[in-house]
């Protein structure tokens, strides 16, 4: 916990530090996603979009913000029975079964 955690504008976030990977395209795409999020809001569309921060610190280095309360695709694939349970599509179908409101399963 940071001593500045309660201050306005401060947040504690996990990051993935990348090397030998060009993150400039990913950073650009995330900027486009943020613009789409603004356009959706201006149009009154209630679409859930969660952009995360990507910082390219060089041509082959950078940092990617971890999404809170999220499971990586790699760890999901390593779960026992993943392939036999319908893969990614099956995972999302099961998420909606446990939610009172299926839309909440994806928020």
pLDDT digit string (tens) for 46-99? 888 889 999 999 999 999 999 888 888 888 888 888 878 888 888 878 777 776
| pLDDT band per the 50, 70, 90 thresholds, residue 6 | confident
| pLDDT band per the 50, 70, 90 thresholds, residue 105 | low
Task: Tell me how far apart the alpha carbons of residues 63 and 72 are, in angstroms, rounded to a whole number.
Answer: 16
pLDDT in tens, 11-51: 778 899 999 999 999 999 999 999 999 999 999 998 888 89
In the chain, CATH 3.30.1010.10 sits at 1-69
CATH entry, 1-69, from 3.30.450.20, 3.30.1010.10, 3.40.50.150, 3.40.50.80: 3.30.1010.10
User: In the β-sheet with 54-56, what is the strand arrangement from edge to edge?
Assistant: 15-19, 61-65, 54-56
Q: Which two tokens stand for residue 43?
A: 């149009």
């Amino acid at each position: 916990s940071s001593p500045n955690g309660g201050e306005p504008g401060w947040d504690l976030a996990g990051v993935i530090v990348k090397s030998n990977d060009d993150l400039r395209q990913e950073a650009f795409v995330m900027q486009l996603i943020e613009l789409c999020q603004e356009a959706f809001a201006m149009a009154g569309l209630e679409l859930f979009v969660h952009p995360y921060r990507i910082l390219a610190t060089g041509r082959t280095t950078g940092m990617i913000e971890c999404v809170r309360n999220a499971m990586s695709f790699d760890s999901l694939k390593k779960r026992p029975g993943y392939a036999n349970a319908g893969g990614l599509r099956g995972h999302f179908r099961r998420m909606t079964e446990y939610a009172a409101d299926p839309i909440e399963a994806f928020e």
